[in-house]
Amino acid sequence: MAESALATIKDAVKRLNSLYVPKVSVGQLSAFTRQLATMSGAGVPLYQAMNTLWDSMEESRLKGIVGKIKDKIKGGTPFSECLSEYPQTFPPLMVGLIKVGEVTGMFEKALAKYADQLEWEEDFQSKISTMMIYPMIMLFVGISVLVFILAVILPTFVTLFAEFKQALPLPTVILMGISSFFTGYWWVILAAVAAGAIFYSRYSRTENGREVIDTAVLYVPLFGTAMRKALLTRFSFSLSIMAGSGVPMLQALSITGETIGNAVLSKHIKAAAKSVERGSSLSLALKDVPFFPKTIIQMIQVGEETGKLEDVMSRVAAYYEKEMEMTTRRIVILLEPIMILVMAVGVGFVVIAVLLPILGLSSIVK
């Protein structure tokens, strides 16, 4: 009986483990793509290159996928078709670039271009994360200190004040009410946070929810400006990569619309793709989209007229990347004094609320 129960538990654990599949990080995919591009450039056959990479990988989700792909390549399946079977790991941009590379004979260039894209994306995310570390630490410390005071320290003083049965100052009454709510209804707070997180998670997965959230983000003071510049950077860089790889404009816009990461901009790009399909130029298709500044429209027009769209969009991406970094730094610089001020006001209010009745008690004792 015990052995049967143990076997059931082990089987349940295995099933739970199988449900958790770690995602392939941008860094892992970047390293894989760059190594494959290098080996392909050196003349190593695709199957041999994939087999070598698979053999050198540590155990991970990516290794399992690469193992399956190399077996299909050995059977004659095109590489782009193999990648398209794993959309959660290999984005449409990668599949599209490689498919064009296979048709045009620029397979190595397509891989190298996408490796550039991934390395840029990884560096981009790293810069944002680094800039936000200090404000997030300050926020965490401030909230932790206030919760500790309200939930642990203040209840001791509440008992002391109750013994003297003295009328308490308004700040103390307010603070005691907050403390009582925290200690008596902490489960309500946790339940509300959990319910809010679940609702947000589900709502953000709907088409309407994603559009509402992405629209709201763009209008948040300061953060919205940084997000707009980040999206313009990503759009410009992606278009530059695909233009340089020979991807047709209609397909490039379709892929960019799917991978841009913002429902509002995605909608605009897909509308522009329809205009291009009807014979319009890209600059003309984007002219009436309020998201794109006039300078970008003019530069795209120049790129189309001169046949140097790749170079022009690369320059646009570099410009907006610097603009985004400067905006993010300004946000961080502004956040630091604001957070310090908020923490000082919060802690100061707690100190005053605790000291006022203590001073009153000391006068009574005298």
Q: What is the pLDDT of residue 362?
A: 61
342-366 mean pLDDT = 75
Q: What is the pLDDT of residue 14?
A: 44
Q: Domains (ranges, CATH) in the chain?
A: 2-90 (1.20.81.30), 133-366 (1.20.81.30)
Highest mean pLDDT among 2-6, 158-162, 349-353, 355-359: 349-353
DSSP state letter for 264: H
User: Considering just the CA atoms, what is the radius of gyration of the chain in Å?
Assistant: 28
pLDDT-based confidence at residue 10 (cuts at 50, 70, 90): very low
Please spell the DSSP secondary structure of 148-173, one letter per residue.
HIIIIIHHHHHHHHHHHT-PPPHHHH
pLDDT for 181 beyond 60 = yes
173-194 mean pLDDT = 83
- CA 63 – CA 53 distance, rounded (Å): 9
Within 10 A of 159 (CB to CB), how many other CB atoms are there?
Answer: 8
Q: Measuring CA to CA, how many Å separate 290 from each of 26, 69, 324?
A: 31, 43, 19
| pLDDT tens-digit series, residues 246-274 | 788 888 888 888 878 888 888 889 888 88
Q: What is the pLDDT of residue 22?
A: 53
Who's near 37: CB < 8 A, 6+ residues apart? 108, 111, 112, 115
pLDDT for 195 beyond 90 = yes
pLDDT for 13 beyond 80 = no
| pLDDT tens-digit series, residues 279-299 | 888 889 888 888 888 888 999
